[in-house]
Structures are given as C-alpha cells and as structure tokens.
Amino acid sequence: MNKQIPKQDCMPAATVRRVEELDRAIVRFAGDSGDGMQLTGDAFAKIIASGGYDFATRPDYPSEIRAPTGTLFGVSGYQIQFSSHEVFTSGDAPDVLVAMNPAALKTNLADVKRGGAIIVNSSAFTDGNLSKAGYQSNPLEDASLTDYRVYRVDISGLTVRALESLGLPPKEAGRCKNYYALGLVLCLYGRPLDAEEQRIRAKFAGKARIAEANVTALRAGYAYAEACEMFVTTYVVRPGNIKPGVYRSLTGNQAAALGFVTASELAGVPLFLGSYPITPATDILHELAALRHYNVKTFQAEDEIAGICSAIGAAYGGVLGVTSTSGPGMALKTEALGLTAMLELPLVIINVQRAGPSTGLPTKVEQSDLLQAVYGRNGECPVPVIAASSPADCFDCAIEAFRIATKYMTPVILLSDGGIGNAAEPWRIPDLADMAPFEIAFRTDPEGFLPYARDANLARAWVRPGTPGMEHRLGGLEKDFLTGDISHNPLNHQRMVEVRAAKVAGIAREIPPLAISGPREGDLLVVGWGGTYGPIVQACKQAEGAGKSVAHLHLRYLNPLPGDLEETLSRYRKVLVPELNLGQLSRLLRERFLRDVVVLSKVQGKSFTQAEIYDRIMELC
Amino acid sequence: MNEMSACQELTRKDFESNQDVRWCPGCGDYALLEQVKRLLPGLGIPRANFAFISGIGCSSRFPYYLETYGLHGIHGRAPAIASGLKLARPELSVWVVTGDGDSLAIGGNHFIHAMRRNIGLKIILLNNRIYGLTKGQCSPTSEFGKSTKSTPMGNIDRPFSPVSVALGAGAGFVARTIDNDLQHLRQTLKRAAEHPGTAFVEVRQNCVVFNDGANDPINDKDTRNDVRMLLEHGKPLRFGVDGNRGVRIRGFEPEIVTLGENGVTEADLAVHDETSAHGGLAFCLSQFAAPLPLPLGVFRAVEAMPYETLNAGLAEEARRKRGKGTLEQLLSGGHTWNVN
Ligand code: SF4
C-alpha cells in the first residue's frame, strides 16, 4: 500500500495492537438524515448476520425526510447489538458510536458507554456545523470527551481522496463517506468485506461507476483503519451458539407482510391489503405490493377509511382482507371496524403504534393504543386484540390474527409498534412441514341457510357472493338473531349484543396455557406485552443473576385475556407492568381481576432500557 | 341448472326480496327499485353474481329490497367497500346505490376517487337535494337560499352538480335521469350496466316528505320540455314544448335560440358528442342552469381499460417475470445465511 496515510488524524496512536474477545457488542451509526446512516446500519447488520451472530437493530430517524443539514433534529441513527448469545434488544449504551457530524455527536453522546469508542468525521466539525448543533466550543478540542476513546478521522476528505482516480465530481464522491465509515467499523470488529462488496455491486447493477465508488470507499475505510493502526484494540465477538438453520433478517413490518401472505398460501385463499401510507406502517404496503406473483392484491386507497372499507369489501368477497395503519389512521378506521364486527366478517387490522396523541411523534415508539384497540368504538363492540413481541413474532402473530378472524368471523386487531416494526432481527426460516395447516371453509349449501346462524364457536358462516341460492343482505343495522334481517326488537338487540360479546370472550378457550419464565410463584412477576419483550427479558435475567426471585410473563392475547391469567397473577406477591404508556395494561388487569399492580411507565418515544426495568425490579424485591 | 339457463329464466320476480319496503309511499326510490328489478334479469348475469352496496340514507336501504347479495355499509363509504369487493372478485357485477348526502358530503372523497379510478362499479345516486333520513336538512345539492330545518334563514352553501363533480373527477360514463320518466330511467341504467369501468348515473328523485315537488317543472308533461333537454349522441341540442328551441354555443358561452327566428337553422345548434375525449361539451352541459334547460341523458361515455383489468395485468406480469410464487420461496427469499 503506497497511499499517504495522514497519521496525525489517527488518535489515539497505536503501538501494539491487541485483539480482545467480546461476548457482545453494541454499535451505533449516527449522522444527518441525508448521510445514509440507515443504509450503513443495515449493511452492517447483514454482515453481522452472515457471521452467525444473533442480533437486534433499532433504526431511529426524524420524521422530516431531509431536515436541514447539520441540525439536531435532523439526526438519524441506527443501533445494533450482536452477540454469540441470544440477543433480545438493540442494547442500551453503545460501545462504539460513529458520529458523522457535531449534531450526531451531541444528540447521541449521553447514551455512549463511559470509556466507549467514538469515531467522528472530523471534517464535519466546522464552525458552522458546531453552531448549528449548539456547541459553544469544539468538543474535539476541549475536555468534554475525555471519558471516551475518540477517533478523529477526516472521513469526508479521505473518501474524496480515495475516489480521486475514479474521476467522480467531489460532491458525488463525498456521498460515499458512509461506506468509508462502515469500512472503519468492519476493521474494528475484524469482519470480512467481500459479501458486502458483492451486495453493493448487485444493488448498483447498471450503475457501475457508483458501485465502484462505494466499494472503493468501503475498502479505503477498512485499509485506512488497518494501515494507520487506528484502533489500539480490535475485537472479535465469537460466533453464536444459536439454533442451527437457515436464517434471514426481518423487520417487524416485513415479518407481518410475510405472515399475511403465508396465511393466504396455507389457506389457499387470496390476500387483499387496503391501505393508506402512514409512518411507521407503510412498509407493509411496500412489501406486499412487491408480491403480486402470489395471490396478493394491494390497493393504495384514498384515505384510511377507504383502506379498511376496501378490505371489508374484499372480505365480503371471500378473500383474506387486511388493512395496515398506525394510531391516527386507527382512529379514522374506527367506525368501519364497528361495521366489520356487526357484519361478522373476518378482517385483520394491524396497528404499528407510534407515539401519540394526534400526530404525536410519528417515527417514535409507544404502546399507547392498547385501550383504543380494546375499547375504542361506539356501542358494545368487542374485538379480539393480539400483540407481537418482537420483529420475528410479527410473522406468527399475522398468521394467528387471520386464524382467529376466520374461525370466529370477526375483525382482529394486531398491535405492533414503530420499534419492532422497523427493527430487524434474525429469523430462522421455518420448515414448511412444521407449519400448522390452515383451513377455511366457505358455506355453499343453501339448504337451511340462515345468514346469522352460528356454529359451536358462535361464528356465522362465510358465504362468497356468487354462490347460487344463498343471496342475502348484511348491514350495520341490528339484525335478527338468525335471519340477519333488520330487527329493532329490544330483546333481539340484547341477545345480539351478548352473543357478539360471548363470541369474542370464547376465544380465551383456545389461548394456550401461559408460559412463564422464572419461578412459578414468588415475590415478583413482571408482566409485559408487545415490543418491550427484549428489555424485560434482559432485566429479569440480570435480576435473577443478582439472586432475585423474579418471573416474566409476556402477553400476546390482550382481548380476551387468557383464562389462567388471574390465577397466575395471584401466585406472586407483586406484579410489575412496564409499559410505554401511562399504564394501559395495568388498568385492564386491575379492572378485570381487581388486582393491584405496579406500573412502570415511559412515554419518551423510546423503548425501555434494560437498566430502567432492572432498577425497578430491584426496588420491588 | 347451468349458469346460462339460470340467467335466461330470470324474471323481475326473482329479484324481489322478502323484506317490506320501508320508503315513504310515493318516494321516488320505488321507481328506481322497480326499474332495476326489470333491468337485471336481462343482463345475462346469474343472480348470485350481483352485489349491491350502499352507505347510509334513505336511498341506501336499497340492497335490502333486492334478492341479490347486498351490503348496507356506513355513511359515505359504499364506493370504497364496493371497490374492494370488485377488485377481489372482478367477475361480480357490483352496484352502488347512494344519495346526495351520502356520496357528495360525507363520502365525497370516495366518490371522486371512484370516478377517477375507473373500477367497474355501477354507481346510482338518488339526488333528492335534501337529507331525508335525518328529516330535512340541506344537502350539497340543495339550492342556494333554500330554507330547510338546518337553514331556517336560507341556505348560504353553494350547491354543486353531481354530474359536474363526476366529470371533473374524470369519470368515463356519466348520465342523468329522473325517477318518474320510467322509459328514460331504464334506458339510462341499461347503458350504465353495459359500460365497462365506472358508470355513474344521477337520478333526480322526489322526496315526498321533505322536498316534495322539487322536480315538478322537469316532470310536468305539459311544460317539462321547456325546462329540460334530452341528450342524444350525434344529435343537435334541441328542446322546447314545440321542439323549436335549441342551444347554440358561441365561444365558450351557450345560448338559447329559436329555430326559424333570425335565420337560425338546426345547423347552428351544438351537436352532442358523448364520446368526446376531453369532454368539454359534457362539462358545459353539466353546468346548465335556468334559463338553460336541464340536460337529461348520457353526458359522457368514453371507454378506458378498467382498473380491475389493469390490476389483473400486473399480477400476470409479475408471474411472467418471477413465476408463480411458492410458500417456500416466500419464506426463504432475500438475504439468507446458514448457522451450523
Ligand atoms: S324521506 Fe324522502 S327520500 Fe326518504 S323515504 Fe321518505 S320520501 Fe323517500
């Protein structure tokens, strides 16, 4: 290598290089939303995945598409934790932060582990950028970073220099700096480059110059870190001891989309998505729109209401109807959801929750739509609600939602959230032979047909229009118990309200016995639901390690609640419920079981850290 | 019984449901129901393949009274429900029955998008220019200045024309007819039924309770031809009790002329062309207001590939390029790696 390496930038200077073995590592990439940090994080995750590690990621991006460059609110970040052991979250405090500008440093510094490494793009620390980030003095020059190992690298400048021979305009060359940064980090963890190079070439097929530029930047970053011995210590994380199999990486939204199509394939019934774009749920529409070679139709409706109404029309037509949305869209769909409950048609509504109320924090996570899901309709209108606990769990929950919907002829709300919806984790590709069959029977026999006659599950029959001799009318007006004709009879209304409630309540019969990790009885049970699974598991493990008797129960079924839940709660002296809201599940538990619980609530647009839950556990036992 | 013979043997009676019709006696909605029952048996479609979708309002009770598949939805949303049904099951004949409040006020958004998308829906709007079911408030088609329960001092909302809205939104088939001209009503519905893609028909309908007589001038056999004009494709725009009046268009301005006066001949009159690609004349006609005669008939009938056909094309293309997807490919797609 005969390139000039500007050693003066390499700090701290290294003499002897050590290779240290780690159990796990947490890396965060942060920069302007135009710096390509999501892409970089994603590429890093793919490389990590190929290494056979378990991992979890957390993209964190502003709601503005291109916020003004250099500003604090324009910072976009991507965190990944990887390990040889099971990984449940993207981790709390990063071991390594890559900060592409002062704003990224400022907004992320507080999270970085004391003594952790910070790689900064030094050339972005100009007076202008410093003042946009609100720095009075340059943190690279004053004492504010003394607790960290800081690596100042002129990432922008070195990238442009590395690409000189390709003859790209400097602006275009500068855009490759994220791959340069990725190269630096890959050197730190001793990960190979070849697979990523192939992916770059595949991605920019037909744009050879750009592919070449990105590959060159990636290599240059890696080579730079190696040649100038930038890192005193590099790390290896031992490859994992995770279950053998073929894996792929899935975000929650991808997993949900795959789950919906899987349900359709298993049942042999087409899938129809009616949807309106809304953050953070839109990827479900994107994923399904790309799967038209399956029995999948997607319809980008004129609004949220048309999204659900078109799916209702499709369900009436005898296909698997689904609509995807997030909180504000859920509010708009409410009336149509009530109609679906009245029509007793199967439908799945997936709400990828975000921080509310109103527009709230569109790109940030919260679990504050639980009560809306359970109760938020006019009239007595129970609807089954289930929640996914992790990105991969969205797959199983999507299938489960359709199973319940079709078996009980009811709309089902599937709650996900912006955290698990956009975060990725490895997913072991299931064996087809292991998948439970999914049978859907349409009624075609006109003999004795009554539209609202019910089976043992209190479900009425699903009849496809076009079936001769079974023409009938459905509607939102109250109907006769058997014929489905309009009925204003007072006793009939009471009977119908009760039977709709009994039908949904009856789903509890098939909820599997609760699986508790930890002691079967004792001092403390931590009850969680949805996307907070990761931090709760880790906090409980940590508390166990500290000798505490603490058990963890994570609820998938939120309406109806499992039949053995009340008894389960009674086996513990205290119940702690961590929730990203002001205590919505807690309220349900108190109301249903007259059982007090301790709420641990957080509404900051972020999930819990392990430490937050651990500390509360330690206070309670 | 095979499907074809099933259709051939269908009669008006086969479409009669066992439900009591609950519209007020004399309501114009009965006329539509009757004409639809007469029309459907002749369309060559098995009864089970019809689906009638509605929203909320007097008009939206329609599906209950017809022995077909039917869905009485929620206020304003019938076009969205019907769109999903038609896309999921393109082989069905899907109809929407709606009203002026249902589709132009609360459901305005779905209405315009149904018009522009060209999904093969037949949309019939019963326009009585008042809210009936909620007992007499002004609607988006109520006249300016009209006194109603919600506008006791006169309506200061400016009405719009359903036909103009449909044309403005790009609908391919747009027509207007009236409840008590049974012949015209039936002919217009037939044209709509035969049109591929979205077909929209405004039916001027009399609400005997809350807006009785609103259509009298265009109904009265003696005088109606002075205030209404029947549109016929390729024919000059003529009207009048004596048939001697017509519409001439100068620049962009329509004007009434009398044949034989001031040397005006039929050759001076504008000629109706429902197939005109840009539909300028159709829109001009849709804006006619007194003293210009109210046009009835087909304003526009331009065929374009229906949405559901394009949709099927996308699926075909995707399968041609990638093959019919299998569950195995679905699950193991994307970037994968082995853990041993
Ligand atoms: S209120 Fe008017 S529109 Fe409604 S049923 Fe009676 S007459 Fe017909």
Residue A575 CB contacts under 8 Å (≥ 6 apart), including other chains: A524, A525, A526, A527, A569, A589, A595, A596, A597, A598
| pLDDT for position A234 | 82
| Residue A339 near chain B (CB below 8 Å) | yes
| pLDDT for position B197 | 96
Ligand 1 in contact with B210 (CB < 6 A)?
yes
Where do the structural domains in chain B lie, given as residue ranges? Answer: 3-214
Any idea which residue has 């975060």 for tokens?
Answer: A423
Tokens of A410: 């009811």
Question: Which pTM was predicted?
Answer: 0.91
The rounded distance, in Å, linking the Cα atoms of B257 and B237 is 10
The residue to mutate among B32, B203, B210, having the most atoms of ligand 1 within 8 angstroms of its beta carbon, is B210
Determine the average pLDDT of the residues in B90-98: 98
Task: Kindly list the structural domains of chain A, giving each domain's residue range(s) and its CATH number in brackets, ordered by start.
Answer: 18-237 (3.40.920.10), 248-434 (3.40.50.970), 522-620 (3.40.50.920)
Ligand 1 in contact with B294 (CB < 6 A)?
no
| Residue A319 near chain B (CB below 8 Å) | yes
| pLDDT for position A1 | 38
The rounded distance, in Å, linking the Cα atoms of A470 and B67 is 10
| Residue A350 near chain B (CB below 8 Å) | no
Partner residue facing A476 (CB), from B72, B83, B333? B72
Which residues in chain B touch residue A470, judged by CB atoms under 8 angstroms apart?
Answer: 48
Cβ–Cβ below 8 Å for A311 and B322: no
Q: Whose CA is nearest to atom 8 of ligand 1?
A: B27
* Residue B118 predicted with pLDDT over 80: yes
Q: Which residue of A has its CA nearest to B114?
A: A302
- Please state the three-class secondary structure of A390-457 as a single string: CCCHHHHHHHHHHHHHHHHCCEEEEEEEHHHHHCEEEEECCCHHHCCCCCCCCCCCCCCCCCCCECCC
> Cα of B299 to ligand 1 centre, how many Å?
27
pLDDT tier for residue B6 given thresholds of 50, 70 and 90 = low
* Residue B1 predicted with pLDDT over 50: no
Ligand 1 in contact with B259 (CB < 6 A)?
no
Which residues in chain A touch residue B71, judged by CB atoms under 8 angstroms apart?
Answer: 313, 316, 343, 473-475
Give the closest residue to A325 by CA, choosing from A422, A425, A419, A414.
A414
Q: Which residue of B has its CA nearest to A294?
A: B325
Low-confidence ranges of chain A (pLDDT < 70): 1-17, 240
* Residue B156 predicted with pLDDT over 50: yes
A466: left (phi over 0), alpha (psi -120 to 50) or beta: left
| pLDDT for position A4 | 42
> Cα of B208 to ligand 1 centre, how many Å?
6
The residue to mutate among B21, B22, B23, B54, having the most atoms of ligand 1 within 8 angstroms of its beta carbon, is B23
Give the closest residue to A267 by CA, choosing from A312, A324, A321.
A321
The rounded distance, in Å, linking the Cα atoms of B283 and B300 is 9
Which residues in chain B touch residue A318, judged by CB atoms under 8 angstroms apart?
Answer: 88-89
Report the range of poorest mean pLDDT among A305-309, B240-244, B282-286.
B240-244
Ligand 1 in contact with B207 (CB < 6 A)?
yes
- Phi, psi for residue A30 in degrees, rounded to 5: -140, 140
| pLDDT for position B5 | 52
Cβ–Cβ below 8 Å for B87 and A432: no
Task: For residue A83, give the DSSP letter.
Answer: E
The rounded distance, in Å, linking the Cα atoms of A454 and A457 is 7
For a pLDDT cut of 70, what percent of chain B falls above it? 98
Please give, rounded to a whole number of angstroms, the shortest distance from the CA of B61 to a CA of chain A.
10
The rounded distance, in Å, linking the Cα atoms of B170 and B116 is 5
Task: For residue B292, give the DSSP letter.
Answer: S
How far separated are the first and last CA of chain B, in Å rounded? 61
| pLDDT for position A64 | 77
How many separate helices (H) and strands (E) can be counted in chain B? Answer: 12, 12
| pLDDT for position B8 | 61
Q: Whose CA is nearest to atom 3 of ligand 1?
A: B207
Looking at domain B3-214, its CATH architecture is 3-Layer(aba) Sandwich (3.40)
Residue A26 CB contacts under 8 Å (≥ 6 apart), including other chains: A79, A80, A81, A90, A91, A92, A93, A94, A95, A96, A113
Q: Whose CA is nearest to atom 5 of ligand 1?
A: B23
Query: Which tens digit of pLDDT belongs to each residue from A533-586?
Result: 999 999 999 999 999 999 999 999 999 999 999 999 999 999 999 999 999 999
